[in-house]
Structure 1
Amino acid sequence: MSTDKPHYHGHRERLRQRLLDRGAGSLADYEILEFLLFGAKARGDTKPLAKKLIAEFGSLAAVFSASVSELQQVSGVGVSTTAILKLIPEAARRMSKEAILEHPIIDSWDKLIEYCQITMAQEKIEQFRLLFLDRKNRLIADEIQQTGTVDHTPVYPREVVKRALELNASALIMLHNHPSGDPTPSQADINMTLEIKSVCIKLGIELHDHLIISKTGHSSFRNLGHL
C-alpha cells in the first residue's frame, strides 16, 4: 500500500502560519477563499474549488455577492460552502455599518462610502436606498425604498418624504447603484433628485447628497454640482 502523502498535506497549516506571521494581506484572493472553505470541508484540497469559484464569477467580491442558486450550480459547492460564502459579506456589512454609527455620518464620509460599496456595489439590479438622519446627523434608519431592473428603479418622491416624516428625520442621504459599473448619473437621476430636494426644502428636511454606487467607484450629486 502506498504511503505517499497527498500533495496538499500540511498545506493548511502552512497557509495558517503565513496568515499569522505575515497578516491576511499576504494572501492572494484565491487563498482567502481557500482558507474560508476549510470551514466547510474538513479534509481535502480546497484550492481547486477556490480557483474555480473565482474563475466562474470573475473576482472574490463577485463570489461573495453571488446568489445561493448561482453558487450551488458550481460543481463541488454544497450547503455548507454556500452558507459560509453568504455569511462573510453579511459580516462585512455589519462591521462597516457599526463604523458609521459611531459618529455623525457627514463627519465619517469615507466610512460611509466604504459601507455603500460593501452593501450595494455588487448588486445585479438597481436598488434605491435611503439613510435617515437625526438633527445631529446620526443614522436613524437605513432602508431599501425600491428595487427595479438592471437599469431602472422607480422612485416616488412622496414615499421618500412620507417615510422621513414618519421617522422624524431631519436629513436624508439618497443612494442607488448602477449595475452597469458606470456611476455617472442619468438625466432621469438628476431630475428625480431635484424633485425630492424641492419637496424636502418645503418640509425643512435637508438632503445632504445623492450617491451613485458601482463596481468601479461612486459619484456624488453634491460634488457634481447637482445639489
Structure 2
Amino acid sequence: MREGGQTSGHRKRLKDRFVKSSLEGFHDYEVLELLLMYAIPRRDVKPLAKKLLSEFKGLKGVFEAAPGRLEEVSGLGEASALLFALVKEAAAAYLSEEHLPARGSVCSPGDAVGCLRQAGHGDAEGLFTLYLNSKNEVLGVEKVERNDAALSPKSIIQKAFSHNARSIILVSAKAGKGAATKAEKAFAQELQEAVSSIDILLHDYIVAGSDGNFSARETGWLKRVTYS
C-alpha cells in the first residue's frame, strides 16, 4: 500500500525543514514524527507522536523508556521502540567521545565533576567512573549501573584495562546533599584495596550534590593519593 498524497507531502515538508534548519522551530511531537517516519513508512504518525509525549511526559521520558515499555503503546512496534533506544545510546556514545576535555588533566574534585558536564552527564544522577592515563588525562567516562553485577571492583577494573587506564576516579552525582553513605564508603575502600594490587590508583571517590562536592581523599576516609 502506498502513502496517501497528504501524508507523503507532510513527511517531505518535515524532512525539508530539518535539512534546512536542523530541529530549530520543531515542536516536540514533530521531532518524534521525523524519527517514526523511518520505522513506520506508510502511516500518519503524528497522532502516535503526540500520544507518546502524553504517555511519557515529554521527549526525555520517551527516550529514557525501556523498549518493552514503549511497545505497550498501541501502534508502536518493536522497530520503533528499538529506534528510540538506538538514538539514545548513539547520542550518549557521541557525547562521551566528542565532549571530553581535550586531554586536560584532572587535578581536583572540581575538575572531575566538570568532566561529567563536558561528557554530557551534567544533569544526570548516578555513579560514574573517570578513567585516566598516567598524566591524569581523561580516557573515558562511563556510568556504572547500580546492580550487584556492575557495582563491583571486578567490573570497574576490567573497564580500566580496556581503557588502558593508570588511575580512576569515581563520582556519585546526587540531587541532594553531597555526603557519602556508609555503603559508598565501604565500596570505595574495597575498590581501592582491589586496584592497589594491580598497580592502578583510585584517586578519589567524590559525591557531587546540590551543596557542593564531597571528596573522600580530602576528608581522609580514603587513603590519600595525590592527583599528580
TM-score w.r.t. length of structure 2 = 0.66
Residue 24 of structure 2 is aligned to residue 25 of structure 1 = yes
Question: Aligned equivalents of 1:16 and 1:66: distance in 2?
Answer: 25
- SS for the counterpart of 1:130 is strand
Q: Would you say the 8 A contact 2:96–2:141 is kept in 1? A: no
Matched residues, percent identical?
25
State the shift of 1:220 in Å. 3.8
Structure 1 unaligned runs (5+)? Answer: none
Name the structure 1 match of 2:157: 163
Residue 116 of structure 2 is aligned to residue 112 of structure 1 = yes
Moved more, 17-26 or 37-46: 17-26
Letter in 2 for 1:78: G
Name the structure 1 match of 2:103: 103
Q: 1:211 to 1:50 in 2, by over 3 A?
A: farther
RMSD across aligned C-alpha pairs, in angstroms? Answer: 4.4
Name the structure 1 match of 2:12: 13
Kindly report which structure 2 residues correspond to 1:82-93, keeping only aligned pairs within 5 A, or say none. 82-93=81-92
Kindly report which structure 2 residues correspond to 1:208-227, keeping only aligned pairs within 5 A, or say none. 208=204, 210=206, 220-222=213-215
Question: Aligned equivalents of 1:33 and 1:218: distance in 2?
Answer: 36
Residue 70 of structure 2 is aligned to residue 76 of structure 1 = no
Moved more, 12-21 or 56-65: 12-21
Give the count of matched residue pairs: 206
Structure 2 unaligned runs (5+)? Answer: 221-228
Name the structure 1 match of 2:223: none
State the shift of 1:83 in Å. 1.8
**CA distances 1:81-134 after superposition (whole Å, capped 9, x unpaired):** 11211110111011112122853463796563253538x938xxxx64423211
Q: Would you say the 8 A contact 2:112–2:169 is kept in 1? A: no
Q: 1:105 to 1:80 in 2, by over 3 A?
A: farther
